[in-house]
């Protein structure tokens, strides 16, 4: 693979010249769970070019900290109502030992968490009122 990197870089440079940045736009949600990514054909093509370029030139792990990251530059593609779906793209050698994936609560999970917080706060308030009532006797 290492021996083919110069040729791949040449191909990516050629694709970069063939797919103009003008008119390349994407609207991306913060997470892909049931949300739609929409964009122009150039937007999707430019995303592919940027992914290839980032994969070919990972950041130096010594400069980035413990892990190497992939310097993906796609801000120019995003519409104003987009949210980047990823903040950092890490480069790993062994995909079988990836760090655990953080899971976000869905709408029902958020509702249940809020309900539990209200119940806990209510119980704390009742407990405090009972203690104050007992102390006032």
Question: Higher model confidence: residue 56 or residue 21?
Answer: 21
Q: 42 falls in which pLDDT band (50, 70, 90)? A: very high
- Residues 71-118: tens digit of each pLDDT: 788 888 888 888 776 666 777 777 777 666 666 667 777 788 888 888
CA-to-CA dists, residue 31 to 28, 36, 84, 106, angstroms: 8, 9, 8, 11
Q: 66 falls in which pLDDT band (50, 70, 90)? A: low
Average of per-residue pLDDT values in the chain? 80
């Amino acid at each position: 693979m290492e021996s083919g990197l110069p040729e791949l870089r040449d191909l990516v440079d050629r694709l970069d010249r063939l797919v103009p940045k003008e008119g390349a736009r994407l609207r991306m949600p913060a997470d892909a769970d049931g949300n739609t990514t929409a964009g122009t054909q150039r937007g999707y093509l430019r995303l592919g070019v940027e992914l290839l370029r980032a994969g070919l030139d990972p950041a130096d792990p010594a400069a980035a900290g413990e892990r190497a990251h992939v310097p993906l530059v796609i801000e120019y593609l995003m519409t104003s109502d987009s949210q980047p779906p990823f903040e950092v793209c890490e480069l790993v050698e062994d995909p079988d030992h990836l760090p655990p994936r953080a899971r976000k609560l869905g709408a029902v999970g958020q509702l249940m968490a809020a309900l539990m917080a209200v119940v806990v706060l209510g119980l704390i308030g009742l407990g405090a009122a009972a203690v104050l009532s007992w102390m006032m006797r």
